[in-house]
Structure 1
Amino acid sequence: MKTSTTIAAAASDDSAILALFEELAIAAGKVVLDVFHTGCAVDHKQDLSPVTAADRDSEVIILAGLRQHLPHIPCVAEEESAAGICPTDIGDTFILIDPLDGTKEFVNRNSDFTVNIALVRNGVPVVGAVFAPISGKLYLGRPGLAELVMLDDGFAVVSRRRIAARKGFEPLTIVASRSHRTPETDDFILGHKNAEIVSVGSSLKFCLIAAAEADLYPRFGPTMEWDTAAGDAVLRAAGGSTQTVDGKPLTYGKRGHAGEKDFANPAFISRGLVVEAVTG
């Protein structure tokens, strides 16, 4: 890691933390892409969701970097959590890691998989990095900055540009899950006159809204906080929002609620700067 990044990140500065997230997401993305090209066995966790060497190796890289340079911030990572490893006390500031979001896309040889790292503070995702290794697109967000970074085939940065959510116009563009469509999602889409539908996997749905390429992302199927936090952080940094279906901001760090799985999200809707035109 860069010495300047490490020193600054240790001071818990959001811009330096984001720089560290960028480095780790790219490093993990390289490993994920190597496994994608060489192939690997697919195992299944207790919930029957797929897991591969790419998930595990990516997480090892990310956690090693975070625990070296930000040892004071608890980390909640998908694969560790699946193995029953989770901090006893996450406090009001912690990091959520999804080392390979869109494993089903990865296994099915689709390109819509990402590496996700997010910092949550007081229930709000405030710093996030989402890296899509196939396209070389890295989406970054922190308070006051959302940007799209383009990388070449050697993972060198080619360009950076600021992004911002757009004010929606009819017909609205709705992004929906490629692998997890539900009847509730279809009903939501039908309630928006002439909406254009884009099917995409992983946390890229948040990023399309953040980059002014879409307006709405309804999610009524199950998700976990590590699935959404990084993309949500990018979206909020770009001026968008994510709310539960009753209009409250989606919050993070949910644990110990009777009858609910720790770190599980309720249904939510992500938006750009959109005023919805709903028709019956």
Structure 2
Amino acid sequence: MTLSPVLPFDANTLLALAARLAEEAATLINDIRHRGFETIIKADRSPVTEADQAAERYILSGLRSATPDIPAIGEEEVANGLFVEPGETYWLVDPLDGTREFAAGRDDFTVNIGLVHNNRAVLGAMSLPAYDQLYTGLIGKGAWRRDRNGHGEITAVLPPESGLRILASRHYADDPRLKEWLAGRKVGSLGNIGSAAKFVRIAEGAADFYPRLGPTMEWDTAAPQAIVEAAGGHVLDEQGKPLRYGKPGWFNPPFLCTGRQPAGAHDA
């Protein structure tokens, strides 16, 4: 497990806040899903729905009310040109990751609330509204899942001898770079699902590798990275270094999300 950083705030209280807001936003999203919604295409050609916008307003309001000294940055506000100075510690919010999945009537979409400190994702809460699941993680302390069956700690695992259980983005399923990356590796299974749900399947030991070769934004990954690393996994850039935050334009490079790995095995 990654060592716990020294933090200038009560991390347990902030994790509980993020978890509560992620669950409440999940309820709001499910309500909108059940009654129907309109999908709009933004200037960058990505979709947005009423659920994205309502969930972000709710989450940001809750974060700013409870933690006024910690800036809160949301995907939709940034898309609308609102700039918030991040500072040393700040929230990153993706109110509905996997909007394409949501709009298509599929179930793999998430609510992501992550906290960044000194350019590192240190805690995260993610809800999966369609599955009634909540995942939380605090670096150096552990990661947990709560669902209809109860609450318990989760851990990433070493790959099985039968081969890597790989999850890849549904949107980039036909990307030739994925075939190049898989060449020479022993693959046990390959599945394609949308959204940050791939991260938590690795964090709970249900999968081993998620190679992300297409573009992502920092709010896509902050919460899930904290959960994966708290569970003993890794999120590495192309140089094999942990993915960091505060990059220009909030853009992430390609990265590799893995479960547990033997010492010296980081090879993105």
TM-score, normalised to structure 1, is 0.87
SS of corresponding position for 2:14: helix
When the two structures are aligned, how many residues end up with a matched partner?
255
Preserved contact between residue 28 and residue 58 of structure 1 (Cα < 8 Å): yes
The one-letter code matched in structure 2 to 1:185 is L
Shift of 1:172: 1.1
State whether residues 177 and 213 of structure 2, in contact with CA within 8 Å, keep that contact through their aligned partners in structure 1.
yes
Amino acid in structure 2 at the alignment position of 1:103 = T
Give unmatched runs, 5+ long, in structure 1: 1-10, 152-157, 256-261
Give SS of 1:195's match: strand
Task: Name segments (4+ residues, structure 1) moved above 6 Å.
Answer: none
Residue 167, structure 1, aligned to residue 158, structure 2: yes
Give the corresponding residue for 2:116.
Answer: 120
Residue 277 of structure 1: how far off its partner (Å): 11
Aligned equivalents of 1:52, 1:193: Cα separation in 2 = 40
Alpha-carbon contact 1:215-1:274 (below 8 Å) kept = no
| Deviation of 1:160 (Å) | 0.6
Q: Provide the residue aligned with 1:13 in structure 2.
A: 10
Are 1:244 and 2:241 an aligned pair? Answer: no
Instruction: Please tell me whether the aligned partners of residues 242 and 249 of structure 1 are also in contact (alpha carbons under 8 angstroms).
Output: yes
Superposition map of 1:190-229 within 5 A: 190-229=183-222
The residue type paired with residue 37 of structure 1 is H
- Do the aligned residues in 2 keep the contact of 1:33 with 1:134 (CA within 8 Å)? yes
2:88 corresponds to: 92
Paired position in structure 2 for 1:232: 225
Moved more, 189-198 or 66-75: 189-198
The answer as to 2:126 corresponding to 1:130 is yes
3-state SS of paired residue (1:46): coil
Question: 2:255 is matched with which residue?
Answer: 268
Q: Matches of 1:36 and 1:190 in 2, distance apart?
A: 40
- The range that moved more, 49-58 or 163-172, is 163-172
Using the alignment, how far apart are the partners of 1:186 and 1:39 within structure 2? Answer: 38
Distance in 1 between residues matched to 2:177 and 2:160, nearest whole Å: 23
Distance apart, 1:188 and its partner CA: 1.5
The answer to whether the Cα contact below 8 Å between 1:43 and 1:52 also exists between their aligned partners in 2 is: yes
Secondary structure of the residue aligned to 1:175 is strand
User: Are the equivalent residues in 1 in contact too, given 2:232–2:260 (CA < 8 A)?
Assistant: yes
Distance 2:220 2:242 in 1: 17
Distance in 2 separating the partners of 1:70 and 1:233: 19
The structure showing larger relative contact order (alpha-carbon pairs under 8 Å, at least 6 residues apart) is 2
CA distance in structure 1 between the aligned counterparts of 2:261 and 2:170, rounded to whole angstroms: 23
Identify the residue that residue 155 of structure 1 maps to in structure 2.
none
Question: Contact between 1:174 and 1:189, CA under 8 Å: does it hold in 2?
Answer: no
RMSD: 1.6
Amino acid at match of 1:169: P
Shift of 1:145: 1.8
Q: Describe the superposition over 1:45-77 as per-residue Cα deviations: whole angstroms up to 9, x where unpaired.
A: 110100000000000110010000011111110
Q: Please give the secondary structure, in 2, of the residue aligned with 1:80.
A: helix
Separation of aligned partners in 1, 2:43 and 2:49: 14
Equivalent residue for 2:170, pick from 178, 184, 190 = 178
**Distance across 2 between alignment mates of 1:177 and 1:33:** 23
